[in-house]
Structure 1
Amino acid sequence: MTDISTGPTSLSAGLRCRCPRCGQGGLYSGFLKIAEACEVCDLAFDFAEPADGPAFFVMTGVGIAVIAAWAVWVVAAQPPVWAQFVTVFPALLGGCLATLRPVKAWLVAEQYVRKAGEAQWLSTGAHGKAPASYKRKGW
């Protein structure tokens, strides 16, 4: 079993869609469904919860790249509208589908490396009550 310091980098594990600890086992059991655990090192993937982050980053990045390329193409070549529809929509869809898995895997690997978890509060607060060590100064 490898630990974080000897395992793959989060970027390399993410781009290959592999386990963030060993870099060998697959991360997914479906197209975007994260497996229960790594089949090589038995790391449980229950910590992995990237939520909507991967979709946001992918749609933003691919959208900017494709629309920028489209704008240059339209100004330079002035293609007909049908050619624009035939090329731009498949480019957007294909770009998003091609990059969503690696980006999600990279964010899962980052969660593992950074030991991400639920937020924990030191105090839930007691409204209207100051701590015993609190003293008002100058009033």
Structure 2
Amino acid sequence: MAEHHPSPPSPYATGLSGRCPRCGQGALFDGFLKLKPRCSACGLDYKFADSADGPAVFIMLIAGFLVLGAALSVEIAYEPPIWLHLVIWLPLALVVCLALLRPMKGLAVALQYANKAEEGRRRT
């Protein structure tokens, strides 16, 4: 009789929600950005996960594009003083970056698991 293996959960759904990439149940994070040592539901060891600076780079590009585009639109339409730009856009940039950081790191870890990505090694 054939053994039935359930299909793995979507890496996008588990990563963006901060869940285990294997079972989709256990929490991925212990704190804001620190990964737990292992999944509390299925026991998957998270030692394979190394998102490095990838999520931060993508977030800076996305947030920079959004915030700078909005700031340029406001400047062209209303020409507010520079202090008003600083009051509006610096906090917005901070909020956008912090809001995206955890989901993007979770997504990077989930995609690493789904694609069996690991550190490159030289053939000898």
| Deviation for aligned residue 1:122 | 2.8
- The answer for the alignment partner of 1:19 in structure 2 is 20
- The answer for the alignment partner of 1:107 in structure 2 is 108
Q: Which runs of 4+ in 1 moved over 4 A?
A: none
**Count of residue pairs the alignment pairs up:** 120
- The answer for the alignment partner of 2:61 in structure 1 is 60
Paired AA for residue 58 in structure 2: F
Where does the alignment leave 5 or more consecutive residues of structure 1 unmatched? Answer: 124-139
* CA deviation string 1:23-61 (max 9, x = no partner): 111100011100000111111101000111111111111
Q: Residues 1-139 of structure 1: matches in 2 within 5 Å? A: 6-123=7-124
Q: Which protein is richer in helix relative to its size?
A: 2
Structure 2 Cα separation of the partners of residues 16 and 110 of structure 1: 13
Paired AA for residue 98 in structure 1: A
Q: What fraction of aligned residue pairs are identical, expressed as a percent?
A: 43
Structure 2 Cα separation of the partners of residues 115 and 78 of structure 1: 50
Where does the alignment leave 5 or more consecutive residues of structure 2 unmatched? Answer: none
Which structure has the bigger radius of gyration? 1
| Deviation for aligned residue 1:118 | 1.9
